[in-house]
Amino acid sequence: MCGISAILCPAPDASLVAAMNDIIVHRGPDGSGICVDGQVALGHRRLAIVELSEAGAQPMLDGSAALVFNGEIYNHDELRDELRRLGFTFRGHSDTEVILGAYQAWGIDCLQRFNGMFAFILHDRRRRRIVAARDRYGIKPLYLWRSPAGLLAFASEIKQFSVLPGWSPAVDPAAAARFIASGILDDGDMSFFSGVRQVPGGSLLDIDETDLPLARMPQPRPWYVLPQASFDGGFDEAVAEFNRLFTDSVRLQNRADVAVGSCLSGGLDSSSIVTTVSELRSGSSKVQHTFTAASEDARLDESSLARLVAVRAGAEAAFCTPSGDELARILPHMAWHQDEPFGSSSIFAQWEVFRLAAASGVKVILDGQGADEMLFGYHRYQELAFRQLAADRRWSELLRQFAAVRRRGSLPLRSLVFGLLRPLLPAADAAYSRRHSGRFLLRPDGLAALPASPSPASPAELSRRQLLNDNLPMLLHWEDRNSMAHGIEARVPFLDHRLVEFALSLPDDFKLAAGVSKRVLRESMRGRLPEEVRDRRDKLGFATAELKWLRQGSASFRPYVEAALETAPQFFDAAAARHLWKDTLAGSRGFTFLPWRLVSFGAWLRAFNPRF
């Protein structure tokens, strides 16, 4: 795990790449490297995880190519053995060296063989091409920007472009409007900065060196497309195969030459990872370390469940309790690290977890991102399932499912009824939008910039959208920045592509039925997790006591919020923002993330000072 930089132009300046490296020292505190290779200058900051010697240093060069790489290829041992049988030799055991060998052996098709998370830039001297690629689901970031003079730059974080000639940050109005209205960012190739684009997950650029300097921004093309497949076995077969793939993913992602720990919220996903690690390490002297954020609000505190899982797994558990005063102190620093606004204060809880892990000396953390999106984990999936039954006029099945959900208590009755009827009642739908959408906070120019976003018609459609387009990409963005700010590599075992593809091939009712979400995962963990965790009916994650901080608490958080709400009246309606704030404090409006979006947006504006 590292940070990468690149400049493409006829006469690249190594000092500019050095400056790009220096601004992300947090991503790679273990080393730095630069090489100028013809019209390509490559930079790298190293966080040493695999092959800790200089044999793993970057940029890495062989006879025909130069490479900078951020991420991990988890199956590098197997690929190295295959390449050795083809006659390749290696001076170390880094996965970076395996990428170079795989590219020589199989060309760009090597991407299909990688099981991992990655963003890399490779200068192929023989073909005079520059290849930049990103992993299937965009776990690792890769941005590009073209200067007015035609210089093309790549970076792991947007702030790296700020040291380049011609940089003049400006707000992308469509990205900002969408974030305020819906909390979504990182959709497709969009970023909050006008002119800055990201290589989408599963995409690559293949640039002809003779075309430099480029007259326009190059267009990525996909190298990976999520397959459409259907599993034709029974539920028990699906559980067994899901468990096999998940266990193998956790096994591969425990490969490291440094300590590997786990985030542990007390929920199903992170608890399943911790339990599986414990089983894989059975008989080993290695101690598993877990890290948990408790909450000052007892209704949101999951630390007792996390402790229960840690004890059963034999893990050494560490806990922190995020506070509103600390959030007010750290928010400007977080805003700079995140590069873009973030949608809730739970990101601060995650920040504190990574800070705790760093203080404990753990450099790799496993986390549960991706399970909700591929296994129908959010309440909205149940609402869509009901709507689909109603649209198909399957009334008896709808009533049976409705009764089962009510008995289970996994979704409040009001949410069930409203979610089902909202599309049929325009007035109710408008009221819901006014309450939960931030559209009313936008001025007319903001509304005009808001991109269209049709609602998904089914749970399966929502799942693919959340995985590829909106929800998961932004969660991965926040996790990457939070972990790397503390010099930690975050790994996500649920996003092994074999597991994702298998989960999406399953029938909907293997994932959600009678109010039970993530059915295959829950069943695979039967007898392995405490039942209080395996059969949880609520969903929190690293929730904070944000509402308590706003209404009762923190000496510094509340005034910080009030100042932040006045930050960007030129984009959103300041009067509407003040009304929102007043209603939230008075309790006349239930808790939503709308005030936080404005706070985070304001903190981002102060961190980067972009023009509108």
Rounded to whole angstroms, how far apart are CA atoms 204 and 436? Answer: 36
* Structure confidence at residue 420 (pLDDT): 60
Which H, E and C letters describe 383-447, residue by residue?
HHHHHHHHHCCCHHHHHHHHHHHHHHCCCCHHHHHHHHHHHHCHHHHHHHHHHHCCHHHECHHHH
Do 510 and 240 form a contact (C-beta atoms < 8 A)?
no
Give 306's contacts (C-beta < 8 A, 6+ positions apart): 264, 265, 266, 271, 290, 292, 317, 319
CA separation (Å) from 284 to 50, 331, 357, 435, 475?
Answer: 20, 40, 22, 53, 33
**Last residue of some domain: 500, 534, 568?**
534
Grade residue 362 by pLDDT with cuts at 50, 70 and 90: very high
Residues pairing with 506 in the sheet: none
Rounded to whole angstroms, how far apart are CA atoms 69 and 124? Answer: 14
Residue 292: strand, helix, or coil: strand
Secondary-structure percent of the chain, ordered helix, strand, coil, rounded to 5: 50, 15, 35
**Last residue of some domain: 222, 251, 275?**
222
Residues 255 and 341 in one domain: yes
Do 156 and 164 form a contact (C-beta atoms < 8 A)?
no
Residues 26-42 have a mean pLDDT of 95
User: Does residue 550 surpass a pLDDT of 80?
Assistant: no
* Structure confidence at residue 572 (pLDDT): 77
Reading the block at residue 220, the tokens are 């990525």
User: Does residue 211 surpass a pLDDT of 60?
Assistant: yes
The total number of residues written for the chain in this structure = 612
* Structure confidence at residue 454 (pLDDT): 80
Rounded to whole angstroms, how far apart are CA atoms 183 and 470? Answer: 10
Residues 264 and 162 in one domain: no
Residues 217 and 257 in one domain: no
Rounded to whole angstroms, how far apart are CA atoms 216 and 594? Answer: 37
Do 484 and 27 form a contact (C-beta atoms < 8 A)?
yes
Reading the block at residue 119, the tokens are 């963003």
Task: Specify the higher pLDDT residue, 153 or 555.
Answer: 153
CA separation (Å) from 108 to 111, 131, 155?
Answer: 6, 8, 21
Residue 152: strand, helix, or coil: strand
* Structure confidence at residue 17 (pLDDT): 98
Radius of gyration (C-alpha) of the chain in whole angstroms: 24
Grade residue 45 by pLDDT with cuts at 50, 70 and 90: very high
Rounded to whole angstroms, how far apart are CA atoms 468 and 480? Answer: 17
Structural domain harbouring 334: 235-375+463-534
How do strand 289-293 and strand 260-263 relate by DSSP bridges?
parallel
Rounded to whole angstroms, how far apart are CA atoms 208 and 64? Answer: 16
- Per the listing, tokens 């404005």 go with 598
**Last residue of some domain: 481, 510, 534?**
534
The CATH code of the domain that includes 169 is 3.60.20.10
Residues 162 and 300 in one domain: no
The CATH code of the domain that includes 529 is 3.40.50.620
What are the start-end ranges of the E strands in 156-225?
196-198, 203-208, 221-222
* Total of domains in the chain: 2
482, part of any domain: yes
149, part of any domain: yes
8-state DSSP, 586: H
Reading the block at residue 273, the tokens are 């990872």
Reading the block at residue 408, the tokens are 């289970």
**pLDDT, tens digit, for every residue of 218-275?**
999 999 999 999 999 999 999 999 999 999 999 999 999 999 999 999 999 999 999 9
User: Does residue 496 surpass a pLDDT of 90?
Assistant: yes
272, part of any domain: yes
Residues 34 and 118 in one domain: yes
Grade residue 574 by pLDDT with cuts at 50, 70 and 90: confident
452, part of any domain: no
40, part of any domain: yes
Highest mean pLDDT among 418-432, 470-484, 540-554: 470-484
User: Does residue 566 surpass a pLDDT of 90?
Assistant: no
Rounded to whole angstroms, how far apart are CA atoms 526 and 535? Answer: 9
| pTM of structure | 0.93
Q: Which of 300, 293, 294, 269 is nearest to 355 (CA)?
A: 293
Rounded to whole angstroms, how far apart are CA atoms 482 and 478? Answer: 6
**pLDDT, tens digit, for every residue of 122-147?**
999 999 999 999 999 999 999 999 99
Grade residue 396 by pLDDT with cuts at 50, 70 and 90: confident
Q: Which of 319, 320, 304, 316 is nearest to 274 (CA)?
A: 316
Residues 485-491 have a mean pLDDT of 98
Rounded to whole angstroms, how far apart are CA atoms 307 and 314? Answer: 10
Reading the block at residue 510, the tokens are 């293997």
What are the start-end ranges of the E strands in 183-310?
196-198, 203-208, 221-222, 260-263, 289-293
Residues 210 and 245 in one domain: no
| pLDDT > 90 fraction of the chain, expressed in percent and rounded | 67
Residues 471 and 346 in one domain: yes
**pLDDT, tens digit, for every residue of 410-450?**
666 556 665 566 655 566 555 566 556 888 888 887 787 77
The one-letter code for the residue type at 350 is Q
Phi/psi of residue 321, each to 5°?
-130, 100
**pLDDT, tens digit, for every residue of 316-346?**
999 999 988 888 889 999 999 999 999 888 8
Task: Specify the higher pLDDT residue, 287 or 16.
Answer: 16
Task: Specify the higher pLDDT residue, 188 or 483.
Answer: 483
Residues 66 and 158 in one domain: yes
Residues 171 and 288 in one domain: no
User: Does residue 540 surpass a pLDDT of 60?
Assistant: no
Q: Which of 439, 449, 492 is nearest to 467 (CA)?
A: 492
Reading the block at residue 19, the tokens are 């400056």
Residues pairing with 171 in the sheet: 193
287, part of any domain: yes
Reading the block at residue 541, the tokens are 């994650």
417, part of any domain: no
Residues 202 and 142 in one domain: yes
Task: Specify the higher pLDDT residue, 172 or 583.
Answer: 172
Do 124 and 130 form a contact (C-beta atoms < 8 A)?
yes
Do 280 and 313 form a contact (C-beta atoms < 8 A)?
no
Residues 201-205 have a mean pLDDT of 97
- Per the listing, tokens 């793939």 go with 245
Residues 86-90 have a mean pLDDT of 96
Average pLDDT along the chain: 90
Do 162 and 169 form a contact (C-beta atoms < 8 A)?
yes
Q: What is the DSSP secondary-structure string of 482-539?
A: HHHTTT-EEE-GGG-HHHHHHHHHS-HHHHEETTEESHHHHHHTTTTS-HHHHT----
Rounded to whole angstroms, how far apart are CA atoms 272 and 494? Answer: 10
**pLDDT, tens digit, for every residue of 500-519?**
999 999 999 999 998 899 99
598, part of any domain: no
Residues 193 and 306 in one domain: no
DSSP H/E element including 40: strand 40-46
Residues 168 and 284 in one domain: no
